Amino acid sequence: MISFNVLKEPWIPVIRQDGSQDELGILACLEQAHKLREIRDPSPIIEFGLYRLLIAFILDALIFVDRRPEHPLHLKNLLQASCFDIEMIDRYISHCGDVFELFHLERPFLQTKMADSKPKPIACLYPVIPSGTNAIHWHHESEHDVNMTAKVAARLLTTVSPFMTAGGAGLSPSINGAPGIYVLPLGSKFNLFETILLNIPLRVDQENGNGAIAWRNTSQPGRERTEATTVEALTWRPRRLQLVPNDPVKEVKFEKGDSTRFSWIDANLAYRYDKNGARPMRMQDKKPLWRDIGPLLLLNKGEYARGDNKISFKRPDAVEQALQLANKGSHLMIKAYAMRTDMKMKVFEWTKSYISIPPKLGLSSILGSHIQFELDMAEKAAWYLRKAIRSLSPHEVSTPLVALTDRCERTYWQRLEPHFYPLMEAFSLLDETNLTTEIVANTTQDWRNKICSLIREQFEVAAKDMDSDSSALKRQVEARGRLNYKLKEEILGK
């Protein structure tokens, strides 16, 4: 029998404080968490999946010893210990029993025993590898030629709960639906111990039922569910899976799992609220994550609304509790993970970003709203740019013109990003009790000027690619005039 014990075998890729790389089992990872800088994997979905696994593990262990944190002060007390209670972890492991063996015949880790299911290529678990009807994005090879070591297969299993997409009839996505933008606050000491604790969900008002964490859950997934506990949600089972024991692993048994018939608020997701209710913030085409810094890090429900439909946003609970525990004067560092899909089973791209914010900016709803307003102004300017470029041609929907417009707008956002962080710093130095119109205008002046100069620059780039006959030159003059008028009136307020 092939054996791979996830507690002891090295499979979690970590970075030590000196920058060296290593691989550890779950037990060693938690024992040394205060000496480790972070988990790091080339795949963003695997990296976040591993973080979520350890967060769920520690939360379940704390619940087992009746020490579940329900308030940021409880997390503060746990943080003061500076390392995990290994005696508690050992007691928890003994309580769990023999459930940490990846190829266990009856209770395989993060899997379900499946006797009669027909195996499929292991490639079906990894979106970057073409399998079935999935499009070929990066690799051009047969799904039957793909194999992987046990440790890599174990890593992939951690992605199922947070990133599983809908897969056709009867194959539901995870508890959060299509993958959202997962936000992971890091501790001020930048070690794995603090990161795990800061991201433990504190919300208990949505707890229902007695569902157990995946490795202690003896029920068979495959039902329509109307309730969940937090530890169950963190290790949600939208698929029934069982790796076919082999070295290397080539096949997996794969069938439908639990489907979600209720709303769940995830501690690492930001939400958009409108007349249709709450929806997780998700990655959008051609939109880097920093442009969503308002909903992801700064805005709370009811503190910012826009448009006739009164859209509002609420940042993740994990960000809220991290800001309350952040050291004054030090920046809060965030990792953000996202995978863009068609809201069904197609995967287009994924990303990981580092974002840093001054805690004062996050704790002040007034200052946060001002930052979001400035991002909205930049979006408005981008819309004027697209409109102006389209008007340069009599054929506004032609493929070359659309490609040119996209390229100019992408360059605009790339060049604007470095100017956004000084804007945040400038607002973090303001006194929110004394924000006059003049003070705000002075603070945003350089930012607004940069928006306009970059918009004009990209318009001229597009204009150079246009025809030079009299009709084309007339369209250029008219488009340039309308664009400058809108920038002066709407962006510069002149």
Q: Average per-residue pLDDT in the chain?
A: 91
Lowest mean pLDDT among 196-200, 285-289, 378-382, 392-396: 392-396
Q: Measured in whole angstroms, how far is the alpha carbon of residue 229 from the centre of its chain? A: 21
Q: Report d(CA 208, CA 226) in Å as an integer.
A: 9
- pLDDT the model gives residue 466: 82
Q: Is the pLDDT confidence value at 139 over 70?
A: no
- pLDDT the model gives residue 394: 81
Answer positive or negative: Cα dihedral of 380, 385, 388, 391. Answer: negative
- pLDDT the model gives residue 295: 92
347, 55 Cβ separation under 8 angstroms: no
pLDDT digits (tens, 9 = 90+) for 72-90: 999 999 999 999 999 999 9
In order of their start, the domains of the chain are: 365-494 (1.10.132.100)
Q: Is the pLDDT confidence value at 106 over 70?
A: yes
The structure tokens listed for 415 are 């060049």
Overall average pLDDT of the 477-485 stretch: 95
- CA angle, 68 then 360 then 187, to 5°: 40
- pLDDT the model gives residue 241: 94
The structure tokens listed for 350 are 């994924």
- pLDDT the model gives residue 140: 65
Lowest mean pLDDT among 50-54, 89-93, 400-404, 424-428: 400-404
* C-alpha to C-alpha distances, 116 to 98, 290, 375, nearest whole angstrom: 23, 47, 54
* C-alpha to C-alpha distances, 54 to 47, 95, 184, nearest whole angstrom: 11, 17, 13
- pLDDT the model gives residue 76: 94
Q: Report d(CA 335, CA 48) in Å as an integer.
A: 9
**Given pLDDT bands bounded at 50, 70 and 90, which one contains residue 35?**
very high
Q: Which residue did the predictor score with more confidence, 115 or 486?
A: 486
- pLDDT the model gives residue 37: 96
Q: Is the pLDDT confidence value at 128 over 80?
A: no
Q: Is the pLDDT confidence value at 307 over 70?
A: no
Lowest mean pLDDT among 1-10, 187-196, 335-344, 391-400: 391-400
CA-based R_g, the chain, Å: 25
**Given pLDDT bands bounded at 50, 70 and 90, which one contains residue 401?**
confident
Number of neighbours of residue 404 by Cβ within 10 angstroms: 20
pLDDT digits (tens, 9 = 90+) for 189-232: 889 999 999 999 999 999 999 999 999 999 999 999 999 999 99
Q: Which residue did the predictor score with more confidence, 59 or 246?
A: 59
pLDDT digits (tens, 9 = 90+) for 344-377: 888 889 999 999 998 888 888 889 999 999 999 9
- pLDDT the model gives residue 188: 82
Give start and end residues of each alpha helix (H) in 1-82: 26-31, 44-64, 72-79
The structure tokens listed for 185 are 């606050």
Q: Is the pLDDT confidence value at 494 over 80?
A: no
Overall average pLDDT of the 450-463 stretch: 96
pLDDT digits (tens, 9 = 90+) for 431-449: 988 899 999 999 999 999 9
pLDDT digits (tens, 9 = 90+) for 151-171: 999 999 999 999 999 877 778
- pLDDT the model gives residue 138: 56
Residue matched to tokens 């009790």: 433
pLDDT digits (tens, 9 = 90+) for 243-299: 999 989 999 998 999 999 899 999 999 999 988 888 999 999 989 999 999 999 998
pTM: 0.93
Q: Report d(CA 13, CA 480) in Å as an integer.
A: 53
Q: Angle at which helices 399-428 and 365-390 pack, to 10 degrees?
A: 160
- Whole-number percent of the chain with pLDDT over 90: 74
Q: Report d(CA 98, CA 108) in Å as an integer.
A: 9
